[in-house]
Amino acid sequence: MRYPKGLIAAMSTPFFEDETLNEEELRHQVDRLIAAGVHGIFVLGTNGENYTMEFAEKVKIMEIVINQAKHRIPVFVGTGCVTTKETLALSKKAQELGADYLSIISPWFAQNTQEGLYEHFATVAKEVNLPIVIYNMPARTGINIDYKTMEKLAKLKNIVGIKDSSCNFDNMQRYLEIPGRTFSVLSGNDSLILPCLLAGGQGGISGLSNVIPERMVSIVNEYEKGNIEEAWRLQRSVRPLRDCMQMANPNSVVKCAAAMLGQKLGPCRAPFNINDESLKQAIKKSLELVQD
């Protein structure tokens, strides 16, 4: 199995103003991210607004991205849904279309248990042949994937990593400290990519790659060269943008910031789009600071 590493772009899905898919721009963004040097593309994640889409639209988007990437870099497809049945169906479709990895988030809204999580992920893992990155985002799903659950899941041959978006470094450490760990640990928080690497992790899945992809890639590249001081400078430089992401729907902040730099990602689908002039000014200021 292939173990993910490096800087993986959590790709936004471009829409027109009427919220329909902008296929031409979607293809352009794939090429733009590859040209920036990212080590993988993660489509239909949180930044991709998968929570606003029906099954058929998700299939169309994954098909476009896989086709455009043409195996130049790995494509990770977010196939997690609320039910195991739908997650499995979407995962099998991604496999059929040629995805390199699946990323599966915990089911959300309804209360769950650690055993329920294990059974959900294990059922999918046993039915597909692709490597799977588990996606931990307790703020949105209502449950944290315990390190003991992840240790148990990692015994399944195609569970190859976890994206930790808990924003809790100690939680990430618990994954990293699992004895004989056989899976990658990736930061889902742009502010913790370098700390994850320094603690023994394998990289990050970055929403800010939609805005400043070269800079996010450089954090990993400078670390790998042993230029730790420069890697820290780059890591700390994204703080102003990260602060803006706490002020509204982060996906909408990312799209707004990218638009200010000339990218045509369009709006987030309502009701998650930004229409706040003070927030836009804060984003503009943060971009000026990041680019200094």
Determine whether 148 is an active site residue: no
Which is it for strands 184-187 and 159-164: parallel, antiparallel or unpaired? Answer: parallel
Distances (CA, A) of 63 to 41, 66, 131: 13, 5, 18
- What DSSP string describes 82-116? SSHHHHHHHHHHHHHHT-SEEEEEPP-SS---HHH
Give the integer Cα–Cα distance in Å for 68 and 195: 32
Total residue length of the chain: 292
Query: Which residue out of 51, 101, 135, 223 is catalytically annotated?
Result: 135
Helix (H, G, I), strand (E, B) or coil at 254: helix
Q: Is residue 77 a contact partner of residue 99, using CB atoms and an 8 Å limit?
A: yes
Q: Tokens 């490597």 label which residue? A: 131
Given its phi and psi angles, is residue 42 left (phi above 0), alpha (psi -120 to 50 degrees) or beta?
beta
CA-closest candidate to residue 30, choices 77, 78, 59, 65: 65
CB atoms within 10 A of CB 134: 26
Determine whether 135 is an active site residue: yes
Query: Which residue out of 5, 163, 255, 280 is catalytically annotated?
Result: 163
Active-site residue set:
135, 163
